[in-house]
Structure 1
Amino acid sequence: MSLRDFPSPKKALLSSVAVLLVCAQTVLAADATTLDQRLPDKTYAYISVPNVETLKEKYKETKFYALTQEEGVQEFCTQLTDLVNTAIEPKINMTVDDLNSILSGEVSFSVFKPSEKPLAMLLAVEFGDSREKVDSLIEKATSAAEAEGSEIVEEEYAGATLNIVEVPGSDPSVPVEQNVVFCIKDSTFMVSNSTNGVKDILDSWEGREEGSFRSSPVYSQVLEQCVTDSGTSMFNLFVDPISLLKAIATSAGNQGMQLQFGLAMLEPLGLGNLKGIGSCSEMMVDDFETISRTLFYLDSAPSGLLNVLKFPATAQKPADWVPAEAGSFQAFNWDAQSAYSAIVQLIDSFQPPGTAEAMIEGMAQQPDGPGVHIKKDIIDQLSGDIQFFTMAGEGEGIESLQSLVVFGAEVNDEEVMKDVLVRVSESPGFPAEAREFQGTTIYEMVNQNPAAPTVAFGVAKGYFLFATEVQMLEQVIRGIAAADSLAESESYKKLAAHFPAETSIIGYTDPRSQIKPVYENLRSGDLGALIPQLDFSVLPPFEEIEQYFGNSASYTVPVENGAMMVQYQLKD
């Protein structure tokens, strides 16, 4: 090795500096404080795009982005952008592209309670190097407010300037501050209704050592359970509906007494167990183009009305009568016995014990009634398997927008359920007419409008079936070949391969059958006339772009602290 093989001092210094800069950027990125670390644990609603730049990069890998690059679609997007620019540019002196360039890091919206103060709403946007554009927006907003008679107060706080717009004529009965506050801290622009809310965030700018929203018991579980180890969330959502309503009622004082009384009923109903609903969405991770997981968090076992929505996990698949061309499909494993018991217990909690059962017995024994016992003739006949599918409507123009639905509830004994329908149909005033179709009795609702679909129901294929169009029910009774069923379609099987062995609810969607009628009605002018400023005819025929609309699936399973719903679309 010669001396020239050794780096010069200058090169060594530059290399060292470069390494240090890379390391520093990595540490800063890892330690960057996010809004959920600044927010208090009393945060009741939160929507966040953690990193807009990453979202944009991932979006460019999706089929939907490829769709927007089609020539006709690009032309339409240009029209739409020009229309929006025409509306906003005279007011804010910026275009859609200008606004898009401002979005750099995290964008979030939250509703929280700062200390003992009224509720605060906060929009926070990281703008990167676009300080001049943000300053211009604030100047435009404050000037417009002054022109309308508002007073603008500037206040220095925690190294930031608060521009407080004191709105005249505020309603004292509204349980929130009604000012508008603009503030910039570092490279984050904030706008809020609450001065106290902004100050609370500024006080915790480096993150809360304890009591932060991110470390709260429920939201921390959302982040832990809803994001894969190999992925990064592109979109986070959280809402604690019960606590939010309670906070609104408390903040409203005397005006919130009625709401407080209503909320007091939630505990005996079992709804107080719901502590939050949170979701995280990822893009282009593993086999998925998009995947979102939603956690319904319960702090104890379901009780009260929540037992009406009890769906135990079991092996599920589409029934043989669900066709492959279904636009959407869902199946539920419903615990009907649990639901019945929950309703009986709820009624008896407000009435003397036995009231509910006595009412049911009385209804079954009414002299002029059909003699149907809700528990014995209906609830006890349901296996729990409930399925439905939709198909695109037939016809031209607006008529094609109407979806047709077939609903089926599996029964334990077809003959018992058929007998129930016979008894009901013989009751005075029964609004349907019976007829035979291939050995099955179909009950068609009397239709006053011949042009409208005819609703029908009956028992066949082991299910009580209900259809919004009688021809759909006839198709189910007629039957389809196994190869033509949804369960045997390659599209469904590819998606269902990602289902767990046992699920509570499963779903499948082919968006093309739902989007095509709307799309073609826009192109033809039937719907496009509603927005005359846009020329929808420049869009290409649907057949040229349908490959960009991929099928999707979903499933729901019980988890230790509630239920998890997963929705996804696969990569090509």
Structure 2
Amino acid sequence: MRVGTVLIRSLAAVLISLFGVAAHHSSPAAQPVQIQVPESAGENGASSAGETPGEGDAKPDAAQAGAYISAVDLLPPSTAGVVRIPKLPSFCDAWRKTQIGQLIDSPEMQPFIDDQRERAASYMETLDRKIGVKPDDLYKMASGEVAVAWMSHEEDKRRPYSLCVVADIRGKKKDADDAAEKIDADLKAGGATRKDVEHGKERIRVYRTKPKPGQLKIEEIVLTWNDHRFIAADRQSVVTELLDVLDGKLPQRAFSDRESYKKVISDSSAAITQAKEENATVCWEWYAQPFAMGRILRELFEYDRRDDLDIIDLLERQGFGVIDAAGGVGVVSGERFDILHRGIVLTSGKLTKAARMLQGANAKRGPIPGWPTSDSGTFYRLNWDLESAFWATESLVDDALGDDLFRPMIEGIRDDPEGPRIDIAKDFLPNLDDEVILVTDNTTPIGPESDRMLIALKIKNADVVAGVVEKAMKVEPDATKLDVAEFDVWRVERGEGEVDDIDAQLKELGFEDQVDDEEVPPLLNHWAIAVVKGNVPGAPDYLMFSSHSELLIKLGMRVRSGVTGDGLESTDQTKTVVKAMDDLKADEVTFDGVFHPSISLRARYELLRKGELKDSDSVIANLLRRIVQEGDEGKPDPIQAGKLPPFATINRYLKSGGSFWQKTEDGWSMTGFLMAK
């Protein structure tokens, strides 16, 4: 199974477990956590947003003073990532008030949700097997914060990472005792052995789990708790290290004083405050070092590479290691936003090699063009130097293939007498502008061909690009030129022309070592391409690519006519999202988007519910199908989608949203939100 599939499926299980707990557990006495900007000028610039004094805002002498010390101030310097819920009962209360929380809690969804809890429970055995604690255990015992952290141990080749959970259980010691005894019984029933050890004033339970058939390494599950906190981990040394911090033997804030962590949380919290959602509840904070976490997740989900190419090492070699950290803060149940996330990506140093493809500049966020129709489900716009990004991939491709093949391939496209004879470097790339637009829609009645997408690249010289497209299509055996008077449309229907075995051609060219014999179904069986000029001089021209020729013709005609006033930009929902982005200061952006889930999810939801997703030919449906219909070794893995209610009964819960990224001096800021109304 591909690592992407593993991670997506496992992430989905975690979200179902977490949000399922939030939707079905509510503490009437819990109060929403008010937003507070961290005191970045203070001794610890990473004081967590949304906490009342004494909850995770401890000073260095907090242990001696008897104040509660936040979990992030206990974590070791080896910490690579952390997710922290400042106050779990408040999170559950606030989440239940959101539209998604109400959807999960609605009578219509209960048959499906109940079934998913069982599936999620089986997926969560990964976490349970590592530290013994389930999400429901945490809910029952946690009175305050819950933090999940991953530590990197590169020196340990057998177990190069560790995982721990720290929960504030003040006032709920009895619940923690009960949870620990249940965990004890479950582990022993599974063949684990237990040894109790003393460390300082605390008692630690160390379990050695029974190895699975063929498993060489013995896994540990380590638990300790007192009146204040519950700690669970998969490595005894992690627990003893945290206890030593509490006992004053090791310094506090070995992790939380990290400059990148302080900046991520401080800047994200300040951005949340600027949104003026005073009644929202801070529900999560997260931080990650991307490459360290990538290696941890690869080990956590026991992904076994099937070839010698290490993608993480490849990206680091190609300059992406300058991405130091990413993280953010999320609030829910505000007056204006149901969910609002603000975060940042931090970089250090200059982008080099293939990482140069990330170079981009902010551009003034203009209005949504008039040509996307009012029934569009999503509109995304990216400001990107396409020509520079293309050439930046050269070193990545050559490194991945182990030979200098990129330039010869480009030259072959130009010089091969049986090929298209296209000079990509001279005629195509210089005529690409710096704007890319993605639009999706879906048609009714819902069927396999309903879900559609279109990509539009803004171009400089439409005539030259049109000539490039024509050359390419004339040598494409599956291409057909459609009868459209206003502009040339080429449709490619796989299997219409002669067999074009690309793998065989690569082998003939001497690239047999780079050919993957595993057959992977194409993401699209048909698509269309066209160059569409604006209706008046100075209006944008586009190179358009679509999954469906009908959508390309429809939107291309709107570009040609210059129609305005009746498209996506004119709908009330879009205006609400655009106004929100204005108020969030999305003036200069590298990326911006508007999405309407009540439209964008409609087709694939109904196809999934009816068991017809396998017949859809959309890109998203093909990706979803690979995720939900293939388990380990290709075995069926149904999600009982037939238990989903009809889309018409739940679309009232699906509110519109938006997102945008902005280039900053040290990386990017990122914002995403769902409207409350």
Q: What is the aligned counterpart of 2:188 among 139, 146, 153?
A: 146
Rounded Cα–Cα distance in structure 1 between residues aligned with 2:224 and 2:400: 52
Could you tell me which residue of structure 1 aligns to residue 438 of structure 2? 388
What amino acid maps onto 2:483 in structure 1?
E
Query: Would you say the 8 A contact 1:44–1:244 is kept in 2?
Result: yes
- Structure 1's 489 and 362: CA in aligned 2 closer, same or farther, altered over 3 A? same
Deviation at 1:39, TM superposition (A): 0.4
Task: Give the length in aligned residue pairs.
Answer: 528
Q: Write the mapping of 1:372-411 to structure 2, written as runs, cut at 5 A.
A: 372-396=422-446, 399=448, 403-411=451-459
Rounded Cα–Cα distance in structure 1 between residues aligned with 2:154 and 2:459: 55
Q: Does residue 366 of structure 1 match 2:392?
A: no
Instruction: After superposition, give the CA deviation of every residue in 1:158-181 in whole Å (9 maximum; x if it has no partner).
Output: 32221111234489998x872111
Rounded Cα–Cα distance in structure 2 between residues aligned with 1:467 and 1:558: 29
Q: Does residue 327 of structure 1 match 2:377?
A: yes
Q: Does residue 548 of structure 1 match 2:641?
A: no
Q: Write the mapping of 1:19-418 to structure 2, written as runs, cut at 5 A.
A: 27-29=53-55, 30-31=57-58, 32-67=68-103, 72-73=108-109, 76=111, 100-113=139-152, 119-169=161-211, 178-205=219-246, 209=251, 211-227=253-269, 228-229=272-273, 233-244=282-293, 266=315, 268-285=317-334, 287-316=336-365, 317-344=367-394, 360-361=410-411, 363-396=413-446, 399=448, 403-418=451-466
Rounded Cα–Cα distance in structure 2 between residues aligned with 1:260 and 1:357: 21
Rounded Cα–Cα distance in structure 2 between residues aligned with 1:57 and 1:71: 19
- Structure 1's 395 and 491: CA in aligned 2 closer, same or farther, altered over 3 A? closer
Deviation at 1:512, TM superposition (A): 0.9
Rounded Cα–Cα distance in structure 1 between residues aligned with 2:383 and 2:287: 27
Query: Would you say the 8 A contact 1:113–1:197 is kept in 2?
Result: no
Secondary structure in 1 matching 2:261 = helix
Secondary structure in 2 matching 1:550 = coil
- Please say which of residues 363-372 and 63-72 is displaced more in the overlay: 63-72
Deviation at 1:115, TM superposition (A): 11
Secondary structure in 2 matching 1:438 = coil
What amino acid maps onto 1:408 in structure 2?
A
Secondary structure in 1 matching 2:54 = helix
Rounded Cα–Cα distance in structure 2 between residues aligned with 1:556 and 1:495: 15
Rounded Cα–Cα distance in structure 1 between residues aligned with 2:413 and 2:350: 33
Rounded Cα–Cα distance in structure 2 between residues aligned with 1:521 and 1:340: 36
Query: Would you say the 8 A contact 2:147–2:165 is kept in 1?
Result: yes
- Structure 1's 209 and 144: CA in aligned 2 closer, same or farther, altered over 3 A? closer
Query: Would you say the 8 A contact 2:451–2:604 is kept in 1?
Result: no
TM-score, length basis structure 2: 0.68
Could you tell me which residue of structure 2 aligns to residue 511 of structure 1? 597
Gaps of 5+ in 2: 1-50, 59-67, 123-127, 497-523, 534-540, 614-636
Secondary structure in 1 matching 2:488 = strand
Deviation at 1:297, TM superposition (A): 1.2
What amino acid maps onto 1:388 in structure 2?
L
TM-score, length basis structure 1: 0.79
Rounded Cα–Cα distance in structure 2 between residues aligned with 1:513 and 1:135: 48
Secondary structure in 2 matching 1:436 = coil
Could you tell me which residue of structure 2 aligns to residue 12 of structure 1? none
Rounded Cα–Cα distance in structure 2 between residues aligned with 1:184 and 1:116: 29
Deviation at 1:299, TM superposition (A): 1.2
RMSD (Å) for aligned C-alpha atoms: 4.3
Rounded Cα–Cα distance in structure 2 between residues aligned with 1:100 and 1:486: 42
Could you tell me which residue of structure 2 aligns to residue 437 of structure 1? 484
Deviation at 1:440, TM superposition (A): 1.4
- Structure 1's 214 and 470: CA in aligned 2 closer, same or farther, altered over 3 A? same
Rounded Cα–Cα distance in structure 2 between residues aligned with 1:132 and 1:100: 13
Rounded Cα–Cα distance in structure 2 between residues aligned with 1:322 and 1:404: 13
- Structure 1's 546 and 349: CA in aligned 2 closer, same or farther, altered over 3 A? closer
Could you tell me which residue of structure 2 aligns to residue 422 of structure 1? 470
Query: Would you say the 8 A contact 1:170–1:178 is kept in 2?
Result: no
Could you tell me which residue of structure 2 aligns to residue 563 of structure 1? 668
Rounded Cα–Cα distance in structure 1 between residues aligned with 2:137 and 2:493: 58
Rounded Cα–Cα distance in structure 1 between residues aligned with 2:245 and 2:211: 32
Query: Would you say the 8 A contact 2:195–2:207 is kept in 1?
Result: yes
What amino acid maps onto 2:490 in structure 1?
Y
Rounded Cα–Cα distance in structure 1 between residues aligned with 2:151 and 2:88: 23
Query: Would you say the 8 A contact 1:164–1:179 is kept in 2?
Result: yes
Deviation at 1:517, TM superposition (A): 4.0
Query: Would you say the 8 A contact 2:173–2:226 is kept in 1?
Result: no
Deviation at 1:144, TM superposition (A): 3.8
Secondary structure in 2 matching 1:189 = strand
Could you tell me which residue of structure 2 aligns to residue 15 of structure 1? none
Could you tell me which residue of structure 2 aligns to residue 458 of structure 1? 530
Rounded Cα–Cα distance in structure 2 between residues aligned with 1:62 and 1:556: 24
Query: Would you say the 8 A contact 1:424–1:430 is kept in 2?
Result: no
Rounded Cα–Cα distance in structure 1 between residues aligned with 2:309 and 2:396: 20
Rounded Cα–Cα distance in structure 2 between residues aligned with 1:375 and 1:119: 45
Instruction: After superposition, give the CA deviation of every residue in 1:48-94 in whole Å (9 maximum; x if it has no partner).
Output: 21211221232244233444565545x6589669979999xxx9xx9
Deviation at 1:490, TM superposition (A): 2.8
Rounded Cα–Cα distance in structure 1 between residues aligned with 2:657 and 2:675: 7
What amino acid maps onto 2:207 in structure 1?
V
Could you tell me which residue of structure 1 aligns to residue 22 of structure 2? none
Query: Would you say the 8 A contact 1:38–1:206 is kept in 2?
Result: no
Query: Would you say the 8 A contact 2:140–2:175 is kept in 1?
Result: no
- Structure 1's 39 and 260: CA in aligned 2 closer, same or farther, altered over 3 A? farther
Rounded Cα–Cα distance in structure 2 between residues aligned with 1:545 and 1:262: 40
- Structure 1's 249 and 551: CA in aligned 2 closer, same or farther, altered over 3 A? closer
Deviation at 1:318, TM superposition (A): 3.1
Query: Would you say the 8 A contact 1:506–1:553 is kept in 2?
Result: yes
- Structure 1's 456 and 493: CA in aligned 2 closer, same or farther, altered over 3 A? same
- Structure 1's 182 and 337: CA in aligned 2 closer, same or farther, altered over 3 A? same
Query: Would you say the 8 A contact 2:72–2:147 is kept in 1?
Result: no
Rounded Cα–Cα distance in structure 2 between residues aligned with 1:344 and 1:305: 7
Query: Would you say the 8 A contact 1:119–1:177 is kept in 2?
Result: no
Deviation at 1:454, TM superposition (A): 4.0
Deviation at 1:441, TM superposition (A): 1.2
Secondary structure in 1 matching 2:369 = coil
Deviation at 1:566, TM superposition (A): 0.6
Deviation at 1:482, TM superposition (A): 1.4
What amino acid maps onto 2:91 in structure 1?
L
Rounded Cα–Cα distance in structure 2 between residues aligned with 1:348 and 1:542: 47
Deviation at 1:347, TM superposition (A): 7.5
Deviation at 1:387, TM superposition (A): 0.7
What amino acid maps onto 1:455 in structure 2?
W
Identity within the alignment, %: 18
Query: Would you say the 8 A contact 2:141–2:179 is kept in 1?
Result: no
Could you tell me which residue of structure 1 aligns to residue 47 of structure 2? none
Name which one, 1 or 2, has greater alpha-carbon Rg.
1
- Structure 1's 50 and 464: CA in aligned 2 closer, same or farther, altered over 3 A? same
Query: Would you say the 8 A contact 2:414–2:421 is kept in 1?
Result: yes
Query: Would you say the 8 A contact 2:569–2:575 is kept in 1?
Result: yes
